[in-house]
Each structure stands twice: as structure tokens, then as C-alpha cells.
Amino acid sequence: MFVKVCGLRTSADVATATDSGADAVGFVLTRSPRQVTAAGARRLAAGVPGSVLTVGVLAGIEAAEAARLAREAGVDAIQLHGRYPREAFAVLAAEGMRLIRATPLEEGTELTVGAYGEELLLLDSPAAGSGQRWDLGLLGTSRPRGRWLLAGGLDPGNVGAAIAAARPWGVDVSSGVESARGVKDHGLIRAFVAAARAAGQPPGGRRGGHHQEEW
């Protein structure tokens, strides 16, 4: 089970996530209670082990500006969050960016991973970062193909059930491991990663982690 912890703002946040076994950490580079500057993200990313993916999360800006911020931040991959068109992903791909497509699941959502040139697809609540859950029953008739992450209202207490219901390749969390909006709770980060790992453990008890080089 691939685990991404997003919206990190301090070196202690990053250390807790990586020490807990997270496969990816995300830094929000556009307007949000969790926003960090590109320079701040670069400093935080410098402390991340090479086996952990660093992701710049961007929403509501043009693709060219997203590419500029991601380069300044020095992250491994860029996550475009929202209803971006294929053309935006093409711009970033031309810049050599590794891409994550983050979108709500709604009528007409393209569910094939790679359809926009992305390496990972993330399905989130319509109100990203709000902590709101969405109806996983929608996956009964519309299930992604390929490597996709489940997000939206996940926390240490419900991630196991969500994994069992949705059967994602990985999970992403932000507000579900906070003590206040934008403030990460390190105990909750550790508990979330442990719960996701336990839920995603294959039969026989052998842990199967997914790391950066595998995708």
C-alpha cells in the first residue's frame, strides 16, 4: 500500500512522515492553509530520503506557472489538483515533469491512469483539503485502471475500512492527520501510516511497500 502524506509545512512534519514509512510527501505550493513557498518546499525536500517521493501540489494556476513553482521547489513530481485539461498536462510533460492527476470522481471523469500523461491518478473529495468524505459507492460502476490513490476525508480511524471498500493502489492524507487546520499532528501521522500499512498488508503478513523507483 503506497502512502502519501500531504500538506507538510515543517521539518518535523517531514521527519515524522518519512520515519513512519510514508512513500511520498506533498508540499502545497498554491493558496491554502497548508501553503509553503517554493523556497520553503526546497528546504523541506532536501531532508527527504531518496526513496521517498517529493510532490509539489498545485491548483488554480496556469500550467506554465505550475511548472515554474515546481522547478523552484525542486520536487520529484507535480500534482495538478482540480479539473485541468489535457493541454495543461501536455505543457508540464514537455517540461519533463513527472505528473500526478488529482480530481474528484464525477460524471465524465477519465479513470484510466496515464490518459493525460500522468503516472498516478488521485481521486479526491470535490472540496479538496476539506476533510470531507465522498461516496465510495461510486466506485462500484466507475473504477480506475492502473495505479491510483484514494483521498478525501481519510484518517487513522477510517482508512482501513476505506481501503477494504475501494481497493486502491495507495492512499493520500492531509486534514485527517491535523490537530487544527494546517497543523499536522505527528501522532496521527504515525497512526495513519501504520493503519494504512496494516490494511494493505497482503495475505501471509508480508509487507509490500511501493517506492519511488517502482513507478
Q: Which residues are catalytic?
A: 6, 124
Cβ-count burial of 185 within 10 angstroms (0-12 exposed, 13-18 middle, 19+ buried)? middle
User: H/E element holding 184?
Assistant: strand 183-184
**Residue 112 one-letter amino acid:** T
Separation between Cα atoms, residue 54 and residue 75, nearest integer Å: 5
Axis-axis angle for helices 63-73, 86-94 (nearest 10): 40
Contact 34, 174 (CB under 8 A): yes
Separation between Cα atoms, residue 200 and residue 95, nearest integer Å: 34
Q: How distant, in Å, are the alpha carbons of 37, 69, 89, 154 from that of 173?
A: 20, 22, 23, 6
